[in-house]
Amino acid sequence: MRQIILLFSLLLVASLVLTACPGPPAPVDAPDTAADSARTDADAEKIIYIGGAVSETGKYAREGQDTRQGYGVWLDWVNNEYGGIKIANHRYKVELVMYDDEGDPDTTARLVERLINEDRVDFLLGPYSSTLTQSASAIAEKYGKIMIEGNGAAETLFERGFQNLFAVLTPAGNYTQSALQMLAAKGAKTVVIAYEDTAFPTSVAEGAQRWAAEYGLELLGVETYPKDVADVSGIISKFKRLEADVFIGGGHFNDAVLFIRAAKELDFNPKAMVITVGPSNPKLVAEVGVDAEYIIGPTQWEASMNYADEYFGSASDYAARYREMWDESPTYQAAESTATALALHLAIEEANSLDTDAVREALRNLDVVTFYGPIDFDETGKNASKPMGAIQIQGGEILVVAPGNAAVADLLYPAPAWKDR
């Protein structure tokens, strides 16, 4: 009997902790019932409803906040400054319906279903991370709703033949391209890769292997690790023995901290560390301090890049607007979220209708340059036209070092050993 009770309670706890129990979704800005009647009334103020489930809690809480704030910048601009989206001589105000997906793919799916069936949104905006985008876009596709996103970069998202998924960001496979090209030119010969075994880092790592081969870098080792990992000593001490020139870490923000700490703790001294997501965020330097020096990171966008459009102005104008509104500098995750909403906006105006087929056609034909860079979707929905940049942390600043035309500093290579810093 006592074994049975113990086993039962073990199972119960394990299942509770494992699923981290997705509770009832916390609605944010959900439209009230009055909004429904407004939609049927032709003379009332015209409103376009756009919905999204974006992390407010869970593992992607930080990046989810950037995404929400990015959408928020566009929303504020389109309603208060631009005067609403133009369709057939009418101005449509936009209402954004947002939920918290808690970083859980099942919750994401449920919330997107709810956005489509209960909130009756016209279009969907993507969540943060490829994993959640994968789940959200499957529901959008099932109902034939257009979902445009700027935070799901894994190539696998676009290999499913979906008709309704569009992404403004450079796909994950190209993240390390400019960094590896530059490191190879500086004399790097060998590379090791560690990545989280979820959709986005996997795409980054596969792309990195492709680009390493392209630029003549020898691959010495590839390691995966699970989400929520708390210790990577095994990987780092293995890599230390391989003495590779370049370390590539594919993961999200928290993993960047873990890699930097583990490398220093185990005296692992590659000549360059390229880590996704973390380094381009000023918060990393603020928290990790001097140990973040010399770290290289891919970036979708930086305020110093020379892109501009007629809506938000130049990249640095956008950054100023963002700071004004949110009291912090925009990360590229925020900028690409704003660009996501802007691309949808431009396609709706181009289609001159809210009809899904017309807007889909307009998105396919869209070819513009924005503050975020060129947006031109290929037949799978990816934005194939935008190059990826690379930054390096130098003297506590995040400086663009590649591509050449956007660079504001030279790449420092090789990085000194930990004990010589």
What is 211-229 written as a DSSP string? Answer: HHHHTTPEEEEEEEE-TT-
Name 86's bridge partners: 91
258 binds other proteins (CB under 8 A): yes
Could you give the CA distance from residue 73 to residue 321 in angstroms, rounded to a whole number? 8
Q: Which of 83, 234, 395, 396 binds other proteins (CB under 8 A)?
A: 234
Q: Is 337 left (phi over 0), alpha (psi -120 to 50) or beta?
A: alpha
Interhelix angle for 130-142 vs 199-214, to 10°? 110
Chain position carrying tokens 């809210």: 354
Nearer to other proteins, 85 or 393 (CB): 393
Residue 65 carries which DSSP code?
A: H
When the beta carbons of 125 and 277 are compared against other proteins, the nearer one is: 277
17 near other proteins (CB under 8 A):
yes
Strands (DSSP E) contained in 190-303 are 190-196, 218-225, 246-250, 272-275, 296-299
Q: Which is nearer to other proteins, 201 or 373 (CB)?
A: 201
Question: Which residues face 196 on adjacent strands?
Answer: 225
Select from 153, 288, 303, 406 the one that contacts other proteins (CB under 8 A).
288
374 in Cβ contact with 386 (< 8 Å):
yes
**Candidate residues 1, 34, 42, 88; the one interacting with other proteins per rule CB under 8 A:** 1
Question: Cβ closer to other proteins: 6 or 213?
Answer: 6
Question: Which residue carries 């949808």 as its tokens?
Answer: 344
Judged by CB under 8 A, the stretch of 31-39, 105-113, 284-292, 371-379 that binds other proteins is 284-292
Instruction: Using the minimum distance from each CB to other proteins, give the nearer residue, 7 or 44.
Output: 7
How many other C-beta atoms can be found within 10 angstroms of the C-beta atom of residue 257?
A: 17
Q: Could you give the CA distance from residue 75 to residue 41 in angstroms, rounded to a whole number? A: 23
- If the CB atoms of residues 122 and 255 are measured against other proteins, the closer one turns out to be 255
414: preceding bond cis by omega (within 30 degrees): yes
Binding of other proteins at residue 34 (CB under 8 A)? no
Which residue, 398 or 401, is less far from other proteins as judged by CB?
A: 398
Which residues inside 184-223 make contact with other proteins, applying CB under 8 A? 197, 221-223
Helix/strand/coil for 405: helix
Among 28, 30, 220, 266, the residue binding other proteins under the rule CB under 8 A is: 266
Structure tokens at 69: 């704030």
Show the tokens assigned to 292.
């973040």
Name the residue nearer to other proteins (CB basis): 1 or 42.
1
Part of the chain binding other proteins (CB under 8 A), chosen from 72-80, 200-208, 286-294, 317-325: 286-294
Distance CA 46, CA 57 (A): 32
- Give, as one character, the DSSP assignment of residue 169: S
162 versus 326: smaller Cβ distance to other proteins = 326
CA 11/CA 6 separation, integer angstroms:
9
68 counts as binding other proteins under rule CB under 8 A? no
Q: Residue 209 Cβ, how far from other proteins at the closest point, in Å? A: 12
Reduced to 3 states (helix: H, G, I; strand: E, B; else coil), residue 107 is helix
Q: Which of 86, 93, 210, 238 touches other proteins (CB under 8 A)? A: 238
Return d(Cα 393, Cα 302) in angstroms, integer: 13
Judged by CB under 8 A, the residue of 58, 127, 249, 297 near other proteins is 58
The residue range among 108-116, 181-189, 262-270, 304-312 that interacts with other proteins, by the rule CB under 8 A, is 262-270
Which residue in 275, 199, 270, 197 sits closest to 238, CA to CA? 270
Assess 24 for contact with other proteins (CB under 8 A).
no
Q: Is position 396 an interface residue for other proteins (rule: CB under 8 A)?
A: no
Residue span binding other proteins (CB under 8 A) among the ranges 184-192, 258-266, 313-321, 398-406: 258-266
State the nearest-atom distance from the C-beta of 379 to other proteins, in Å: 34
| 65 lies in the site for other proteins, by CB under 8 A | yes
Closest contact distance (angstroms) between CB of 235 and other proteins is: 6
Whole-number minimum distance, CB 120 to other proteins, in Å?
29
Within 10 angstroms of residue 185's Cβ, the number of other Cβ atoms is: 12
Residue whose CB is less far from other proteins, 122 or 293: 293
Nearer to other proteins, 34 or 230 (CB): 230
Helix 233-242 vs helix 253-265: crossing angle, to nearest 10: 60
φ, ψ dihedrals at 150, nearest 5°: -135, 15
Residues near other proteins (CB under 8 A): 1-3, 5-7, 9-10, 12-14, 16-18, 20-21, 23, 57-59, 61-62, 64-65, 103, 197, 221-226, 228-235, 237-238, 240-241, 253-254, 257-258, 261-262, 264-267, 283, 287-291, 418-419
